[in-house]
Chain A
Amino acid sequence: MSFDVAAIRADFPILSRQVHGKPLVYLDNAATSQKPQAVIDAIVDYYSRYNANIHRGVHTLSQEATDAYEQARIKIQKHFNIKKKQEVIFTSGTTHGINLVAQGFSNLLTSEDEVLVSALEHHSNIVPWQMLCERTGATLKVLPMNAEGTLAMEELEHVLSAKTKLVFVNHISNALGTINPIETLIEKAHAVDAAVLVDGAQACSHIQPDLDALDVDFYVTSAHKMCGPTGVGILYGKEEWLEKLPPYQGGGEMISEVTFEKTTYAELPHKFEAGTPNIAGGIAFGAAIDYLQQIGFDAIANYEADLLAYATEELLKIEGMKIYGTGPDKTSVISFNVGDIHPYDIGTILDKLGIAVRTGHHCAQPVMAYFNIPGTVRASFAFYNTKEEVDALVVGVRKAQMMLS
């Protein structure tokens, strides 16, 4: 099947709107993706036809809602090739999943232990580990990066040891789009008996990870990066790990028996799903996966690789263009600066032209400090972007350059 981008764009109502009187060119997909009609419909359908609380009711609506929600869990399980459905924990998103694991490790770490994180992290991702180390006295180690914006794997032996109990790395860097060699990291970490948590927030819109084959211990992601709604995501954990971690929050759904003396926790996955979840969100996440599957991740990857190559080539024709993150393995994200023009200025002019990009440090201050820049302009492409939109970006950047220098 050929890739019909015009037909795909028609699935996304927002793509036909205008901004400042110009057609919207949405190139901020790494922040959040747009939603196809099928996902919007799934939300409307749930609230219009079978809104009810799940897992407890005997009535029809509750049963229908529970079935749809659990069906979504199975779709997610299959999509990520996860062995058991109880290994799929619904969360409010990636950050929630990370904090759940970090909190759980509070009981497992001592002051003798070490936690290893990569230098390519989103800074909000570093904080839970700093807090974990403060609570337990464990030491936080950092795997550095090199000038291409890739992890300095040759340094791994200096920071990974028998003391390392947990390794945390993002699958793909949000600031630069670099794909990290997580297979190697997982293998080396397992060789010293360390668990690995991978943040897949930036990856799952571009690739379909096979979590069974990866043999990763924990994997987290958010639905909103992959055409699903905000406020929902998953934590995958190997069953033996999830059994080992204590519950994260107390409340309804996560208990099996409660007396004032003792509470027995519910079985997985409910042990980690306290309270009424984002039911509509979970169901719509399932719809998003159906939508992406129908297009196919091979087709998405091929199309985005083409778009990335074209955009890189065209942007590099601009005088003073500097692209950050030039490793061989990267997704369709281009982080750049033009001469010494401030990224904020370029972003402001682009916005006036209807072009949405992200500017600033992308919550990755350590990465920006490495390159000694205040930030970058980041254009991140999705499978619904076009070469014409790349052209609009290039014209916009040239216009901004003309106005600002």
Chain B
Amino acid sequence: MSISERQQEIVDEFSLFDDWMDKYQHLIEMGKTLPLISPSEKTDDKLIKGCQSKVWLHAQLTDNEVVFTADSDAVITKGIIAILIRVFSKQPPEAVVKAKTDFIDEIGLKEHLSPTRANGLVSMIKQMKLYALAFETQLNE
């Protein structure tokens, strides 16, 4: 499934909930299914600092695809990370570099990706793309 197909799938899934509480409940549940970064990788150099919550991100290239694992100390942040990983992980690096994140607005979770929110998520997306770019360069060599 391509990145945009995965995004559409998530948008459809969230459209089942009219109530914000149900939507958040689903987000929190998604956070619990997050492919957690292994404790040995959860080091300070994998830490993306936000003022409010911490995010750890690890990336590796497996079979020419970027594989992301991550964690956060806040559950709602973890839910958003789970969405991003479901969209971006196990995709070709080039597709990750080019991908947009507008679908988050459609789900109604836009405020979490605001650059002024200081939860580390904006930096996380930037970091995901930087990893993807590095792997893309590596593949083209």
Contacts and interface: CB of A to CB of B under 8 A. Distances in A.
A348 B25 CA distance: 13
Contacts of B76: 344-345, 348-349
Interface stretch (B5-13, B51-59, B99-107, B127-135): B51-59
B97 interface: no
Interface residues of A, number: 17
A404 B75 contact: yes
Contacts of B24: 349, 352, 403
How many interface residues does chain B have, given as a range? 10 to 19
Nearest to A405: B75
Contacts of A375: 52
A360 B20 contact: no
A360 B21 contact: no
A374 B54 contact: yes
Contact of A404 (B20, B28, B54): B28
Contacts of A374: 53-54, 73
Contacts of B73: 342, 374
A54 B28 CA distance: 57
Given A20-B20, A374-B73, A404-B75, A344 B25 contact: no
B91 interface: no
B28 A342 contact: no
A34 B46 CA distance: 40
A375 B52 CA distance: 8
A352 B111 CA distance: 11
B74 interface: yes
A342 B74 contact: yes
A344 B77 contact: yes
B119 interface: yes
Contacts of A352: 20-21, 24
Given A352-B20, A403-B24, A403-B25, A360 B74 contact: no
Contacts of B51: 360-361
A41 B137 CA distance: 60
Contact of A344 (B20, B21, B28, B53): B53
B25 A360 contact: no
B116 to A, nearest CB: 13
A359 interface: yes
Nearest to B51: A360
Given A352-B24, A403-B25, A404-B28, A345 B54 contact: no
Looking at A343, A399, A404, which has the most chain B CB atoms within 10 Å of its CB?
A: A404
A349 B21 CA distance: 9
A202 to B, nearest CB: 20
Nearest to B23: A352
A343 B118 CA distance: 14
Interface in A362-404: 374-375, 399, 403-404
B20 A342 contact: no
A289 B13 CA distance: 54
Contact of B74 (A345, A361, A403): A345
A360 B53 CA distance: 8
A348 B52 CA distance: 11
Interface string A236-280: 000000000000000000000000000000000000000000000
Given A345-B76, A348-B76, 5 more contacts: A341-B75, A342-B53, A342-B74, A374-B54, A375-B52
Which 4 A-B residue pairs are closest in the complex by CB-CB distance?
A342-B74, A344-B74, A344-B52, A344-B53
8 contacts: A341-B75, A344-B53, A345-B75, A352-B20, A352-B21, A359-B52, A361-B51, A374-B54
